[in-house]
Amino acid sequence: MPDAPKFVITDYGFPTITIEREIIETAGGQLATFQCKTEEEVIAATKEADAILVQWAPLTHAVLQQLPHCKVIVRYGIGIDNIDLDAARSRGIMVCNVPDYCIDEVADHTFALAMSMARQLPALDPLVRQGVWKIVPPRPMPASRQMIFVAIGYGRIARAVLDRARACKFHLATCDPYLPAGTKLPPDVQILDIDQALKTGDIVSLHLPLTEATRHLINGEGLSKMKPTSLLINTSRGGLVNTVELAAALSRDQIAGAALDVFEQEPLDAAHPLMKCTNALLTSHVSWYSELSQPQLQRMAADEAVRAIKDEAVRNRVA
């Protein structure tokens, strides 16, 4: 099919791409798949592409300048910080993401991390295994109904996390610089500014996109504002947190603990100082996953790319 639109998957971590292939070929397209890691590999793979599906590969300014035919880029997932949006706009390339495929999974994982830390499970388990049996935990443990659960950001996932916190009787609050004026919040959700959120939150959970304005939002200065009993949770974007400064704060008990599923560099380096922090709970960017969410992501990304190529209305355009 020489005139068939060319779809390229630059990289993926799924066992197969059978779902995408069926959707794209049924729509009359041709599909090529790669496992690109560098700009050079992406340029070579995508030079004839009409549509690109990308997971982690870099779609930088240099890459986008080499796309004479590309009409749309679809990111497998929510974050789009591996795509140069300004360069895409200048080239007239549509950029879409899939922001609504794993809301419950990420919310469940976020709240599981928060409750694990609040109930001190990472500290209690090794004590039991060492033969230490105490019915009082090693650190102060307030009841959830005494604690303020703050979501920094108030998007789909943040709201789902606060729903779970509500069920456990936390006091609820949010801080979101992107919240549209006039947005009505539930009466039990207090609106705070960033300083108030850091100073008053017992559990501070991050739910923001990664931009130049939000990069290292949580750094040494911000951590110094938090209570020594507070907990930091990040299942959003790794770059929101300066993890070296977080590790330093944790090592001197400046805050009680942190739980992270995302990091600036993944996988997390074995020599990273967070690895030595016993009051840090670390997971490997798995909060998005369930046996339902993975095929749903693949299907939704492929459907979006096909819609764009067919000049149909897309669901989630970000540029």
Do 97 and 108 sit in the same domain of this protein? no
The mean predicted confidence, pLDDT, of the chain is 97
Domain holding 188, by residue range, is 103-282
d(CA 303, CA 29): 12
Q: Give the dihedral of Cα atoms 61, 62, 63, 65; nearest 10 deg.
A: 80
Say whether 21 sits in a helix, a strand or coil: helix
For the chain, what is the total number of helices (H) and then of strands (E)?
A: 11, 12
Whether 88 and 157 map to the same domain: the answer is no
* Catalytic residue of the set 221, 266, 312, 317: 266
Number of separate domains in the chain: 2
Give the Cβ contact number of residue 264 at 10 Å. 17
d(CA 91, CA 68): 9
* pLDDT for the residue numbered 305: 98
pLDDT of residue 2: 56
Identify the active-site residue in 159, 164, 207, 237: 237
Do 230 and 251 reside in the same domain of the chain? Answer: yes
At 188-241, the pLDDT tens digits run 999 999 999 999 999 999 999 999 999 999 999 999 999 999 999 999 999 999
The CATH number of the domain holding residue 253 is: 3.40.50.720
Which of 207, 250, 208 lies closest to 226, judged by CA?
Answer: 250
Active site residue 69: no
Q: For residues 279 and 252, what is the distance between their CA atoms, to the nearest angstrom?
A: 10
Q: How many CB atoms lie within 10 A of CB 20?
A: 25
- Residue of 285, 299, 307, 315 marked active site: 285
What's at 138, amino acid-wise?
P
Q: Whose structure tokens read 């939150």?
A: 201
Please confirm, yes or no, whether 164 is among the known catalytic residues.
no
Q: Is 189 strand, coil or helix?
A: strand
pLDDT classification of 181: cutoffs 50, 70, 90: confident
Would you state the structure tokens that stand for residue 202, as one six-digit string?
Answer: 């017992």
Q: How far apart are CA 174 and CA 227, in angstroms?
A: 17
25 is catalytic: no
Contacts of 164 by beta carbon, 8 Å cutoff, 6+ apart:
107, 108, 111
Q: Are residues 268 and 235 in the same domain?
A: yes
Looking at the fold, whether 134 and 167 belong to one and the same domain comes out as: yes
| Same domain flag for 109 and 252 | yes
Name the pTM for this structure.
Answer: 0.93
Rounded to the nearest angstrom, the gap between the alpha carbon of residue 133 and the centroid of all alpha carbons in its chain is 37
Q: Are 113 and 97 in a shared domain?
A: no
Domain assignment present for residue 314? The answer is: no
The answer to whether residues 77 and 167 belong to one domain is: no
